[in-house]
Homo-oligomer: A and B are copies of this chain.
Amino acid sequence: MQDIFRHIDDHNDDAIQSLIDLCRLPTVSAQKRAIAETAEHVAALLRALGFETQVLPKPVLSEAEGREGAQTGGRPSGHPVVYAEARGASPRTLLFYDHYDVQPAEPLDLWSSPPFEPALRDGKLYGRGVSDNKGNIAARLAAIRAWREVRGELPCAIKFCIEGDEEIGSPQMEEFVAEHRELLAADACIWEGGGVTWEGLPQVVLGVKGLLYVQLEVGTVNRDAHSSYGTVLPNAAWRLAWALSTIKGPDERILIDGFFDAVRPPTPEERAAIEAMPREDAETLASFGIKEALLGVRGVDYIARHLFEPTATIDGLSSGYEGEGPKTVLPARAMAKMDFRLVPDQDPHDVLAKLRAHLDRHGFADVRVTDLGGEHPARTPVTDPFVRVMRDAIREAYGAEAVIVPAMAGTGPLYPFIQTLGLPTADCGIGYPDAHIHAPDENIRIEDFRRGTKAIAALLGRFGAS
Contact with B along A289-328 (1 / 0, CB 8 A): 1100110010000100110010111111111111111111
Q: How large is the interface on A (under 10, 10 to 19, 20 to 34, 35 or more residues)?
A: 35 or more
Q: How far is the CA of A283 from the CA of B372 in the complex (A)?
A: 38
Stretch of A261-269, A404-412, A414-422 at the chain-chain interface: A404-412
Q: Bound complex: CA of A31 vs CA of B168, how far in Å?
A: 36
Taking CB as reference atom, which chain B residue is nearest A408? B228
Please tell me if the beta carbons of B30 and A325 are within 8 angstroms of each other in the complex: yes
A415-451: CB near B (< 8 Å → 1, else 0) gives 0000000000000000000001111110000000000
Q: List 23 A-B contacts (CB under 8 A).
A: A103-B327, A104-B323, A107-B224, A213-B328, A222-B290, A227-B315, A227-B339, A231-B309, A232-B305, A232-B306, A237-B316, A238-B244, A238-B250, A241-B241, A314-B319, A315-B321, A315-B328, A316-B321, A317-B322, A321-B337, A322-B337, A328-B438, A329-B438
Give the residues from 210 to 231 in chain A that come closer than 8 angstroms, CB to CB, to chain B.
211, 213, 215, 220-231
Residue among A76, A317, A337, A363 with max Cβ neighbours from chain B (10 Å): A317
Give A286 to B87 CA distance when docked, in angstroms: 71
A209 part of interface (Cβ distance < 8 Å)? yes
In the complex, what residues of B have CB within 8 A of residue A439's CB? 223-226, 329
- A334 closest partner in B (C-beta): B317
**Which residues of A does B touch, CB under 8 Å?**
29-31, 76, 103-104, 106-107, 110, 167-169, 209, 211, 213, 215, 220-235, 237-238, 240-242, 244-245, 248-250, 281, 284-285, 288-290, 293-294, 297, 302, 305-306, 309, 311-331, 334-337, 339, 341, 363, 372-373, 408-411, 436-441
How far apart are A272's CB and chain B's nearest CB, in angstroms? 21
Instruction: For the complex formed, measure the closest distance between the CB of A375 and the CB atoms of chain B, giving whole angstroms.
Output: 11
Residues of B within 8 A of A437 (CB): 226
| Closest residue of B by beta carbon distance from A76 | B325
In whole angstroms, what is the CA distance A439 to B320 when docked? 11
Q: Evaluate contact between B232 and A293: CB separation under 8 angstroms.
A: yes
Contact A337 B320 (CB under 8 A): yes
User: Within 8 Å CB of A331, what residues of B?
Assistant: 314-317
Contact A211 B288 (CB under 8 A): no
Interface contact A30-B314, CB-CB below 8 Å:
no
Kindly report which residue of chain B lies nearest to residue A364, judged by CB atoms: B250
Q: Given the complex, which residues of B lie within 8 Å of A315, measured CB to CB?
A: 227, 237, 320-321, 326-331
A228 touches B245 (CB 8 A): no
**Separation of A438 and B106 alpha carbons in the complex (Å):** 30
- CB-CB under 8 A from A309, the residues of chain B are 231
In the complex, chain B residues whose CB is within 8 Å of the CB of A334: 317
Q: Report, nearest first, the 4 A-B pairs whose CB atoms are least far apart.
A: A222-B289, A30-B325, A230-B311, A316-B320
- Chain B residue at minimum C-beta to C-beta distance from A107: B224
B235 touches A313 (CB 8 A): yes
| Contact of A327 with B284 in the complex, beta carbons under 8 Å | no
Q: How far is the CA of A288 from the CA of B219 in the complex (A)?
A: 12
- Please name the residue on chain B nearest to A214 by beta carbon: B326
How distant is A150 from chain B, measured CB to nearest CB, in Å?
Answer: 37
Q: Which residues of B contact A322 (CB under 8 A)?
A: 316-318, 335, 337
For residue A292, give the distance in angstroms from its CB to the closest CB of chain B.
9
- A314-B319, A373-B326, A438-B226 known; A302 vs B250 contact (CB < 8 Å): no
- In the complex, residue of chain B having the shortest beta-carbon distance to the beta carbon of A240: B317
- Contact at A30–B223, with CB atoms within 8 Å? no
Q: Is the CB of B241 within 8 A of A321?
A: no
Q: A227-B315, A327-B337, A334-B317 are in contact. Are A294 and B438 (CB under 8 A)?
A: no
Specify which chain B residues have a CB less than 8 angstroms from the CB of A225 in the assembled complex.
Answer: 288, 438-439
**A327, closest chain B residue (CB):** B104
Chain B nearest CB from A20 CB (Å) reads 23
With A222-B289, A288-B225, A409-B229 as given contacts, are A245 and B234 in contact (CB-CB < 8 Å)? no
Known: A317-B237, A319-B316. A211 touches B324 (CB 8 A): no
Q: A325-B31, A328-B438 are in contact. Are A227 and B311 (CB under 8 A)?
A: yes
Name the CB-closest residue of B to A330.
B313
Residues of B within 8 A of A229 (CB): 284, 288, 306, 409
Select one of B106, B244, B318 contacting A318, CB under 8 A.
B318
Q: Which residues of B contact A411 (CB under 8 A)?
A: 228, 328
Nearest CB of B to A273, in Å: 17
A294 CA / B235 CA spacing, docked (Å): 10
